[in-house]
Homo-oligomer: A and B are copies of this chain.
C-alpha cells in the first residue's frame, strides 16, 4: 500500500455488477455477495490489523481508506428514463426527482446493509444531499465530510443520483462522474471501476492492457456499451484519463486483486 496522502482508493461498482439490469429494481445477489466479500476481506482485515497495532505499539499501519460508489443499474436507469431525466435533460417535477432518488436510495440501502452484515463500517452518503450543479453545469461536490468519515475509519458508500441544477431543476449525476469527481477532491491514490466486462475491450473483444491516450482507442470504443445511458465505456475512459491517479477497469473476478493493490483488467493513465 502507498502512503497516507495517496492512500485513498475510490472503487465504483457498476450498476451491471450489483443489479440484474433486465429486471427492475432487482439486486444481483450473487454478484453483490461476491463484491461485498472482497471488500470485507480488504477493509475488515486492514482495520483488524490496525486496531491490534494501535493497541500494542501505537503505530499507524495505514489501514485501507476506501470510498465506494455504485451505479444505478435496474434501479436508477428505468426511473430516470421514464421521467426523461438525464445528465443534460433536467426536470422540475419533484415527484419524478424523488422517484429516481428513491430508487437509488433503495439500492444504496441494500449495498450498505450487505456491507454491514460482513462487518464493513459502511455509511450511506446521498449525493442529492451534498452536491449540485451551477448554471454552467459545473459540479459542486464538497468532500470534506467524506474525508472525515475516512479519517474516522468509516467506509462511505455513494451512488449515482439526481442533483439540483441551477436553471434546470434536477439532472442526473452518474456513478462514473461521481467516482472521478470524488477521486479528484479526495486526492485519491487509485481508482477502480468494477464493471460487467473484464476491462476495456478492443474491436476484437480482447481486453486492452493499458490506455494512456484517448485517440489511440477512440475508434474501437465508439458505439460500444450503447445501452448505458450515462456514458458507456468511451466516456469512462476519457474521464479516467483526465485524472492524476491511475485507474483500472476490470470485472468482478478481479476485484480482490485490485483491492490487494493489483492493476487487473485495463490500466488507464
Residue ranges of A at the interface with B (Cβ–Cβ < 8 Å): 92, 94-95, 97-98, 101, 112, 116, 120-134, 140, 142, 144-145, 148-149, 151-154, 163-170
Contacts and interface: CB of A to CB of B under 8 A. Distances in A.
A116 B129 contact: no
Contacts of A92: 152-153
A148 B166 contact: yes
B145 A166 contact: no
Contact of A165 (B101, B129, B152, B164): B152
Nearest to A129: B129
23 contacts: A94-B116, A94-B122, A95-B116, A97-B123, A98-B122, A98-B124, A124-B126, A125-B129, A126-B129, A127-B129, A130-B142, A132-B144, A132-B148, A133-B148, A140-B145, A142-B142, A145-B164, A148-B164, A151-B164, A151-B166, A152-B165, A152-B169, A152-B170
Contacts of A122: 94, 98
A101 B124 contact: yes
Q: Which of A124, A125, A164 has the most CB of B within 10 A?
A: A164
Contacts of A128: 123-125, 145
A145 B130 contact: yes
Interface centre among A125, A128, A170 (most CB of B within 10 A): A128
A264 B98 CA distance: 33
